[in-house]
Copies of this chain bind each other. A is one copy, B any other.
Amino acid sequence: MGPKMMAVVKQKRAPGARLAEMDIPRLNPDDVLVKVKATALCGTDLHIYEWNRWARNAAIKLPQVMGHEFSGEIVEVGKAVVDLKPGDNVAGETHIPCGKCYQCQNGQQHICGNLTLYGVHTNGSFAEYTKIPAICARKIPSSIPFKIGAVLEPLGTALRTCLEVGVSGKHLAVIGCGPIGLFAVAVSRAMGAATIIATDVVPERLQLSKEIGADVSLNPMETDLVEAVLNMTHGIGVDAVIEASGSVDALNQGFGYLRKGGAVGLIGLPSTPIKLNLGPNVIFKEARIIGIHGRKMFATWITMETMLAKELLNIDPIISHLKSLSQFEEAFDLIKTGKGCKVVLDPAL
C-alpha cells in the first residue's frame, strides 16, 4: 500500500462526486508528480459533475479524479524527464499530444490528431497530488501566484483568440462573460482594443466585465444587441466577435453586428448543431471564422507569461472564490448559479 492523498472523485455515472482517499499516482518515465497548490473549476468539470448529456457521451472512465486547471510544485520526476526537477513551479497544459501524428509534426500539437485531455481522459487535479506528462507541465516563474497559475489554461485560450481575430485598435464584442470571456476582455484591454462590448444575461457578470475593462456591457434580455452595436459603430458593426457563450442566439446576433470583412473567434461549445445563415452572414460579409480549442504549445504560453510578468492583465477580479477541496460541492454550486466566476480550490486549506 503506497502513500495516500485526498481527491474529489467522480465515482458513478450519475450526478455528483465525493471526496475520497486515493493512492498518490505512480509515475511513468515521462511523467512528473505535482503537489497541487491551486486548481480551478471549469464548465467542463460542471458538465461531468452534473453528468449531463455531453459528459455521458464523452469517453470518461470512472472512477476518476476530477479537475484539469491547476498549478503546483513538482515533487518528483519520471526517469526520462530532463527539463524539470523537484521544486519547479508548473501550470498544467491540458492537451496531451502524441508527438507523432500529422498535426504534431506540423507545428499544431495542441490539436494533436490523437489528442487526449488531462482531467477528462486521465485523472485530474482536484487532489493533493497529480501526475501529468512532462510536456504538459509548463514551468512558470515564482512571480506568478499559484492561484493565477491555476487559470493560465483558460486565460491562454482567451489570449490566443484575441491574437487570432486581432484586437489592437479594433472594435470588439465579447459574447459571454464567464471566465474565458472575461479573460478575453482583460487581454483585449491590455492589447489596445478601441471598444470592448461585453454581453451576458447575468447582471453580476456584466458588472464584473466593466471592472475588467469593457467599455459597454449589454444584456440581450434587455437590449436589442444588433441594433445597439450597429448604433455604436455608425452602422458598420464590430471588427471582431469573440464567442465564449456557446449560445445559438448569441452567435447569430454576433453575425448580425459583425462588420463586413470581420473576424469571429469561436470558443464556446454549443450543445447541439446550430443553424447559421451562411449566405448573408458569412459569404456576403466575407467573415473569417476560426475555431479555438486551446493554446499554441507553447507560443501562447510565452506571450501570456510575459504579459503577466509585466502586470499588463487585469484578471484578479475574475477569481471570485477560494475554497478547500472538501468544499467542492459549494464550489460547483457557485459556478452553477453564476454567483461565483472563477472558483479556485486550494488543497492546503
Contact = CB atoms under 8 A, between A and B. Distances in A.
A342 interface: no
Nearest to A235: B113
A260 B111 contact: yes
A203 interface: no
A289 interface: yes
B266 A282 contact: yes
A195 B310 contact: yes
Interface residues of A, number: 64
Nearest to A163: B168
A228 interface: no
A194 B100 contact: no
Interface stretch (A11-19, A35-43, A61-69, A298-306): A298-306
B192 A107 contact: no
Residue among A169, A236, A279, A292 with most chain B CB within 10 A: A169
B266 A278 contact: yes
Given A100-B83, A275-B274, A289 B288 contact: yes
Nearest to A54: B279
B80 A80 contact: yes
Contacts of A101: 236
Contacts of A275: 273-276
A50 interface: no
A261 interface: yes
A111 B261 contact: yes
Interface string A270-311: 100111111100111111111111001011011110110110
A108 B261 contact: yes
Nearest to A282: B291
B293 A283 contact: yes
A218 interface: no
Nearest to A278: B270
B277 A273 contact: yes
B307 A169 contact: yes
B260 A194 contact: no
Contacts of A293: 283-286
B270 A273 contact: no
B307 A192 contact: yes
Interface in A117-169: 159, 163, 168-169
A48 interface: no
A274 B279 CA distance: 10
The 4 A-B pairs of least Cβ separation, nearest first, read: A169-B303, A282-B291, A283-B291, A191-B192
21 contacts: A80-B80, A103-B260, A106-B299, A107-B107, A111-B260, A111-B284, A113-B236, A169-B306, A170-B306, A171-B306, A194-B312, A195-B310, A267-B283, A269-B278, A273-B276, A273-B277, A274-B275, A275-B276, A282-B289, A284-B293, A288-B289
Interface of A: 80, 83, 99-103, 105-108, 111, 113, 159, 163, 168-171, 190-192, 194-195, 235-236, 259-261, 266-267, 269-270, 273-279, 282-293, 296, 298-299, 301-304, 306-307, 309-310, 312
Given A113-B236, A194-B307, 18 more contacts: A83-B100, A105-B302, A106-B261, A106-B299, A106-B302, A108-B260, A111-B260, A168-B191, A168-B303, A169-B312, A190-B192, A191-B191, A194-B312, A267-B283, A273-B275, A275-B275, A278-B291, A289-B289
